[in-house]
Chain A
Amino acid sequence: MEKTVYTLCFMCSVRCPIKVQVKDGQVRWIEGNPQVPGMEGSLCPRGSAGISLLYDRERLQTPLIRDGERGEGRWRKASWNEALDYVAEKLKKIISEYGPQSLVMGERTNLSTHVSKTFLKALGSPNHFTHDALCKGSVNTACRSLFGYTDAQIGIDYKNTRHIVLYGRNIFEAIAVKEVNGLMDAIQAGAKVTYIDPRVSVTATKADRYWMIRPGTDLALNYALIHVILQERLYDAAYVDRWVLGLSELQDFVQPFTPQWAEQETGIPADEIIDFARKISRDKPSVIFHYGYRGAHQQNEIHLRRSILILNALMGSVEAKGGIFFKKGPGALGKKPARKLTDQTLPKVTTVRFDKVGTPDFPLPDPAHGVPQVLTEAILKENPYPIKALIANRFDPLKSIPDTNGMKKALEKLDLIVTIDINMSDIAWYSDVILPESIYLERTDCIQQANGLKPQMFLRRQAVQPRYDTREAAIILKQLAERLDIGQYFPYQTMEELVEWQLEPTGFTLKDFEAKGFVAYGKDPIFWDRQDGIQFKTPSGKIELVSSLLENAGFPSFPPYPKAPEPAENRFRLTVGRVALHTHVSTQNNPLLSELFPENVLWINTAKAKAIGIQNNDRVEVSSSVGSGTIRAFVTDFIHPEAVFMVHGFGHEAKTASRCFNKGLADNVLQENLTDWVGGSPALHDTFVTVKRVQ
């Protein structure tokens, strides 16, 4: 029996539409959905490795209950009933003793996040968080401060751009397939790429202009660019007059930030900065200053992200063809989105969050996502209250939150750690109970509301039966909810029933997704009228350079520029990033991906390496104030002397993930747990390390 299933990849969170061919209950072939522009067969390497995940014997196969000490790796297999009863029992006890807020659930944002949120709310805990803020909390806040929309409500029109500027947005290695192909089309049509990064990534090798900027000084570069653009009146005057508030304050502020000043700070020649400002302004408004995927580098991250967005505003590229645009939902066509479980009337939870987001202590981050890196301290100091139970859903606090050693100490204080995952992640290894999840090819998932220039809905459909004794997270949580007497908020038995429930108000049914894997609400792209129709959601209805969001919370819109410290002798700024062959911390054990990229290495500048006696391939010890570890050195001219770099996601500790166990080094063992207290991101590039050869 052969069948074709249109569904969504989940080898990373991008959710590319895919076409899966199944024969006799086995997945034989996966390719990008040929009916979706920008996919047309394409998959990134992780997407191409989907079948090897499906058949990987090292996946989690059955519920497990810990049998030895935490982290010892001794388990007993349990039935689902036994495991769920066990978790429910423990949770009941913890909640009755410490209150519902003592339960925290962290997850990688996914299609059933509304189910997880419902679960916590129904129990009375405010403590749901997603991984989002670790990646881009400050981007989210920056977008709201200027436009009144989150970053998730903004899109990028790659295909029609004339010039794109990437601040370490390593678009050809941290891959989202449609973005790559959209940009490739633009490049074919003559678009220019400017890439700014202390390290030569693959994207740098494809750029028309590359600046090896001094690490930590992108903001200085941007202030100088703004200086030139304002001074030489290179901006889109009509657009700025109509839509931008606070230009004169900006003008006063950037006065001292001349290109000559920026040259000192960034290492980029002043004349190149001026030349670039002039050149890019010729292509306005079809230009993109990319505000980033990851915006989690420094403690003043929000101001870097704001400066990038301000450059777009000055070029008039906000809501422009070939620029950035606001995503339109079904509402724009008078239609309805899919329902979410959180749309039900749920108990109101007024308890302060563990991360204090939404209180005067931490007013601005998005409470829809929370701020995960605060968890360590919240647990250790029992501030604002004791936290006793953690459910980690496809999220690994031990590998994703800075300062692994700190997190390990915090975990010791918990009475219950439950992990829902597909692999033996490090947090699974340290858990009391593991509830194995079915992988994307084995499950139907909640509706993906894909807003954009053309609002659409996508659906992940089950292609094959689960190979092992695994379930979907939305079913696991429902079954747990029933045991905790909150089952009434989960009105479904199967994923199909849940999806049908979601679709009810939309006028579409499950069947409508069969032919292509998606449905579209309308045909034509929707741009708002640039003269009168842009619906900014700020209090003023304009782009607020002087931001009421910031100022009302007591933060200045233009604080003084903090000079980037020069690392002391033999110290380096630790920078981290991605590679095309892996997704964050979750694919290192994949048979095919680990073969091609088994471990990370430490990029270090040739001259610096020589000075401290390090040769290519030497094993080196890297140390920071919070941790240390060893890794092989990659000595190269193609990284700035002040920085070292490593790919994120390595140094796994779970022994039964045998292909990646103990391979490479975890960046977050070294990273200090620092936060941008305005925007919400951690500062992943503000740790300085020493490097020495292992004798």
Chain B
Amino acid sequence: MSKYYLLQDKKKCIGCHSCEIVCKSNKSLPVGPKLCQIITVGPKMINGLPKAAYVFMPCFHCENPWCVAACPTGAMQKRAKDGIVFVDHSLCVGCKACITACPWGAPQWNPEIGKVVKCDYCKDRIDDGLKPACVTVCTTHCLSFGLTETLPDIRRQRHAEAVAGLDA
């Protein structure tokens, strides 16, 4: 796993897809590949209320990435300094082995260049001291990004507030 973690606070997400759009815009991607995707689950009636989840799906930057292991040319690689998994386009031959290997379908096909593209946590932006594109622009700021150990655990906080029952 990379040093970083990209956390989605689902309670605040409104499923607007701004993250997807800005990701594609930032990487100048054509129609087709989506480096991250919002998947809507629901709506479903829960305790008499319609509820839905809008789940943010980027690449997880695995500790032992299947995609890297599957790549025959070394194009798919893990960055030594922080564990970000990315494709080096000069080495990618478009064999799609990584697409097959990743259990979550994170690597995407870019038909314009005949190579694989995938979420690289916007490493260029990170190197410039910025946050990833999707995190910066997310409409509700429900995405946060940082070193895994320093991210606030909103869910824990919320759960504590819910069980405390002070606002009933």
Contacts and interface: CB of A to CB of B under 8 A. Distances in A.
Contacts of B26: 29
Nearest to B38: A596
A164 to B, nearest CB: 15
Interface string A162-181: 00000000001101010011
Nearest to B37: A596
A43 B138 CA distance: 7
B20 A180 contact: no
Interface stretch (B47-55, B57-65, B83-91): B47-55
A457 B116 CA distance: 46
Interface residues of A, number: 40
Given A52-B25, A181-B140, A47 B43 contact: no
Nearest to B16: A580
Contacts of B101: none
A580 B15 CA distance: 9
A593 B50 CA distance: 27
B17 interface: yes
B51 A205 contact: yes
Interface string B133-168: 000111111000000000000000000000000010
Contact of A51 (B25, B50, B52, B140): B25
B109 to A, nearest CB: 15
Interface in A182-217: 184, 188, 190, 200, 202, 204-210
A21 to B, nearest CB: 11
Interface string A659-688: 000000000000000000000000000000
Contacts of A32: 137
Contacts of A49: 21, 25
A667 to B, nearest CB: 22
A181 to B, nearest CB: 6
B50 A48 contact: no
Nearest to A49: B21
A210 B167 contact: no
A210 B22 CA distance: 32
A202 B139 CA distance: 14
B31 A181 contact: no
Contacts of A42: 18, 137-141
A44 B50 contact: no
A175 to B, nearest CB: 6
A547 B76 CA distance: 71
Contacts of A580: 14-18
Nearest to A188: B12
A592 B43 contact: no
Given A202-B52, A204-B50, A580-B15, A177 B24 contact: no
Contacts of A44: 16, 18, 139
A45 B16 contact: yes
A595 interface: yes
B129 interface: no
Contacts of A487: none
A592 B141 contact: no
A200 B50 contact: yes
A596 B21 contact: yes
A190 B167 contact: yes
B139 A43 contact: yes
Given A44-B18, A51-B25, A580-B14, A205 B52 contact: yes
Contact of B139 (A180, A204, A205, A595): A180
A37 to B, nearest CB: 12
B141 A48 contact: no
Nearest to A52: B25
Contacts of A202: 14-16, 52, 54
Contacts of B54: 202
Interface centre among A31, A42, A48 (most CB of B within 10 A): A48
Interface string B35-79: 000000011000001111010000000000000000000000000
Contact of B12 (A184, A581, A595): A184
Given A175-B139, A592-B25, A638 B16 contact: no
Contacts of B141: 40-42, 181, 184
A591 interface: yes
Given A45-B16, A205-B52, A210-B49, A180 B140 contact: yes
B25 A45 contact: no
Contacts of B42: 205
Given A184-B140, A200-B43, A591-B31, A206 B14 contact: yes
Interface centre among B12, B21, B49 (most CB of A within 10 A): B21
Nearest to B161: A190
A62 to B, nearest CB: 25
B58 to A, nearest CB: 16
B134 to A, nearest CB: 9
Interface centre among B16, B24, B54 (most CB of A within 10 A): B16
6 contacts: A48-B137, A175-B16, A180-B139, A202-B54, A205-B43, A638-B43
Interface of A: 29, 31-32, 40-45, 47-49, 51-52, 172-173, 175, 177, 180-181, 184, 188, 190, 200, 202, 204-210, 580-581, 591-593, 595-596, 638
The 8 closest A-B pairs by CB, nearest first: A580-B16, A48-B21, A205-B52, A172-B14, A48-B22, A45-B18, A200-B50, A45-B21
Interface of B: 12, 14-18, 20-22, 24-26, 31, 42-43, 49-52, 54, 136-141, 167
Given A44-B18, A581-B21, 5 more contacts: A45-B20, A184-B12, A190-B167, A207-B49, A592-B25
